[in-house]
Amino acid sequence: MPEPQGHGKMQDFLETLIRLAHRLRSNLSLRTRLLLAAPVLLLAAHSTAGQSIRFRDISRSAGMGPPRDPALEKKYIVEMMGGGVALFDCDLSGKLAIVVVNDSTVDEYLHGGAPMITLYRQVGDLHFVDTTLQSGLTTRGWGMGVAIGDFDNDGLPDIFVAGYGHNALYHNLGDCKFEDVTERAHVTGGGFSVGAAWADYDRDGKLDLFVDHYIDSDIHDLPQPGSRYFGYRGQPMEVLRTVGQASQLFHNRGDGTFEDVAEKAGVANPQKRLGMGMVWADYDNDGWPDLFVTNDMGANYLFRNRHDGTFEDVAFGLGVATGEDGEYFGNMAGDFADIDHSSKLDLLITRYRNQPISLYANRGEQGFDDITRTSRLDLGGESLVRWGSGFADFDNDGWPDLLIANGNFTPVIDAIPTDPKYAEPLQVFRNNGNRTFTDVSAQSGLNDGPLHSRRGTAFGDLNNDGNIDAVVFNADGPPSIFLNVTAGSNHSVLFRLAGTKSNRAAIGARVIVSTLSAAGRVINQMDEVRGGNSYLSSNDQRLHFGLGSARVIRRVQILWPSGLKEDLRDVPADAIYTVVEGQGIKGSTKFNPPAK
């Protein structure tokens, strides 16, 4: 987000620091550069042969309407930040539905607002119908982020919408019908809530909810032309004030109500940083969920769970608070994945334009190492404004790939030739299996259709064929649906976990899948069920693993949030398994034939 011009001193100073750092790097002797490059060359020798990642934009045939009139100009920050998208199975039919937050305007909000979310139910194979009203999702307001979690452990996934002005909690009644229980549950909130994510941080079997906020902004008193907070390089738009709002951690009492314990827990954001994306993950492998929060124009938080209901921010100590040279970047979104089969979760952060994305390798107690350059994720795209991003194994070779959604804040900015455009291409990077990535966007089909200004991304298997598909939030219109049509002989698997002692949605459960490579080497992949992903979005909560050439999984280890460890042996590939805590596999469905 652009800052007011009078606020540019800190930015100038930081940019000088960044330039100095770049100069130092480019001044290294050839010998030093070769030494630095050597590990990359060695690793590259192990690169696996790949199948090219291909998507097809099926938005229109799947039932999404045309984009809205792009003339709506988005002058205010509240109009620019949304929003999120979620994939979930609202009727337990095995078919994913799509939830997307509304993309409102100040004027619409002041006149009562639109329904905060739209639900597209999958009624035929890959055909979606807007059932928002019939589904009872009628609460009006301004949705920003969406997080899926079964807060009452009745087996039906519920929807939380973080919104400007107020939030909404929708309790699932079955058959994709919902009731608004926000007030009764005491999660109404207020202010500029943006992101939300579920996790059972105290491991009592009931899902809790973290909600963060962006800037302190009053929609009834927005800056007007002439104010120092209005006008960016001559264009009519609000610019950033760097004062945020407190975050909330809603502890689930188990009786349908929640209590905000953020202050007591140490996650309330007393520094008033500008919260954006968030993701829960057990980065330190101690069995307790930790929380990473991206902050715009400030240091990120990595809240380590201290097992007693409190957290400590370890972001500075572990090297993920700022840029490599201490820069306060415009951090947008983050995601965790074990990108190198080290059995530790690595971290990605996307950032504002002209700022590097960072890929951090998790080195355990030594903290996180920024490996962006050696991973080759620094090649190209620096000028993009990047939002939603996440890891998923799109080609099923067993190595998590990366998708990033881009686009500038407002079409107003298109009048400035040196700024990134409002609509920009999507990017997809293939994981080469050796801590390097290759930008395969050009051949991916993601940008074959019209470009949009993108925000959140959600990944999931929409047609249950074992290939992970992507749904992307578009400013000014319905989401884009990208069917993954990557061809090839690789195998994969999906696990749908159901907790009994643990929370029913099994959020926080960790799965380790062990297969044998063609060369007979044991490969361990690891992932966790999450109740919210970045940016402001929620993925399919079934865990997906690409298996390469392996037709059978030798071993599946499940670490349930309750502490129970479960072991499955010799599980055939190419199916969706339902695993119930303590009872092993209780159901399986073979994959559908691949999409043509």
Residues that bind Ca ion (CB under 5 A): 150, 152, 154, 156, 158, 172, 200, 202, 204, 206, 208, 282, 284, 286, 288, 290, 305, 461, 463, 465, 467, 469
Burial track 241-278 (b if 16+ CB lie within 10 A, e otherwise): bbebbbbbbbbbeeeeebebbbeebbbbbeebbbbbbb
Name the minimum Å distance from CB 205 to Ca ion: 7
588 phi, psi to nearest 5 deg: -150, 145
Cα separation of 87 and 496, whole Å? Answer: 14
Residue 243, Cα to own-chain centre: how many angstroms?
24
Which is nearer to Ca ion, 217 or 248 (by Cβ)?
A: 248
Name the minimum Å distance from CB 124 to Ca ion: 15
Closest Cα partner for 400 from 435, 447, 426?
435
Which is nearer to Ca ion, 144 or 156 (by Cβ)?
A: 156
Cα separation of 145 and 277, whole Å? Answer: 9
Cα separation of 582 and 586, whole Å? Answer: 10
Residues in contact with 27: Cβ distance below 8 Å, sequence separation at least 6, in sequence order: none
Q: In what order do the strands lie in the sheet with 158-164?
A: 114-115, 140-149, 158-164, 168-174, 177-180
Name the minimum Å distance from CB 474 to Ca ion: 20
Name the minimum Å distance from CB 194 to Ca ion: 23
Which is nearer to Ca ion, 290 or 528 (by Cβ)?
A: 290
Name the minimum Å distance from CB 35 to Ca ion: 35
Q: In what order do the strands lie in the sheet with 469-474?
A: 55-57, 480-484, 469-474, 454-460
Burial track 558-589 (b if 16+ CB lie within 10 A, e otherwise): bbbbbeeebebeebebebbbbbbbeeeeeeee
Name the minimum Å distance from CB 544 to Ca ion: 9
Which is nearer to Ca ion, 481 or 568 (by Cβ)?
A: 481
Q: Judge contact between 129 and 121, C-beta under 8 A.
A: yes
Which is nearer to Ca ion, 208 or 212 (by Cβ)?
A: 208
Which is nearer to Ca ion, 311 or 329 (by Cβ)?
A: 311
Which is nearer to Ca ion, 215 or 595 (by Cβ)?
A: 595
Closest Cα partner for 394 from 282, 484, 481?
484
Which is nearer to Ca ion, 82 or 157 (by Cβ)?
A: 157
Beta strand 480-484 with 469-474 is: antiparallel
Query: Tokens 């992101």 label which residue?
Result: 195
Name the minimum Å distance from CB 179 to Ca ion: 11
Cα separation of 283 and 213, whole Å? Answer: 23
Cα separation of 249 and 264, whole Å? Answer: 9
Name the minimum Å distance from CB 49 to Ca ion: 22
Measured distance between the N- and C-terminal CA atoms of the chain, rounded to whole angstroms = 40
Name the minimum Å distance from CB 58 to Ca ion: 11
Which is nearer to Ca ion, 208 or 528 (by Cβ)?
A: 208
